[in-house]
Amino acid sequence: MTAIYKILRREEWLAAKTKGAFAGSAVDLADGYIHFSTAGQAEETARKHFAGQDDLVVLEMDAAALGPALKWAPSRGGALFPHLYATLDVRHVRAVHDAPLGANGIPLLAFLAAR
């Protein structure tokens, strides 16, 4: 099983839970797919795209459960990143982690240390 992660604002997650699905954040909607990161990519994603943003959560899901709509494409430095070309059904989310801001303004992904 390969875990993948989606960082987003808590209010986006709460709205998705109410609807039963997550269509994506603004950048996802603009790009035409939902951006995810692997465990090894998530901290850099938090640093690069979410610095200074508070009240974030990180959704965790099994990549295989998302089926063929999940594609792996090269991005930063040629690393393969998971992209979902579909709406995310919230039943695929197996955990939701808080990502509080650290003293340096970068969201903390402490849950990854246990992996």
CATH number at residue 65: 3.20.170.20
* Residue 8 φ then ψ, to 5°: -155, 170
What pLDDT sits at residue 44? 93
Whether pLDDT at 115 is above 90? no
pLDDT digits (tens, 9 = 90+) for 2-59: 999 999 999 999 999 999 999 999 999 999 999 999 999 999 999 999 999 999 999 9
Q: Which two tokens stand for residue 111?
A: 């849950």
CA atoms within 13 A on the CB side of 90: 12
Burial class of 42 by CB neighbour count within 10 A (0 to 12, 13 to 18, 19+):
buried
Q: CA–CA separation, 21 vs 31, rounded Å?
A: 18
pLDDT digits (tens, 9 = 90+) for 86-97: 999 999 999 999
Range of the domain at 75: 3-114
SS3 content of the chain, % helix, strand, coil (to 5): 40, 35, 25
Number of domains making up the chain: 1
Single pTM value for the model: 0.93
What pLDDT sits at residue 77? 80
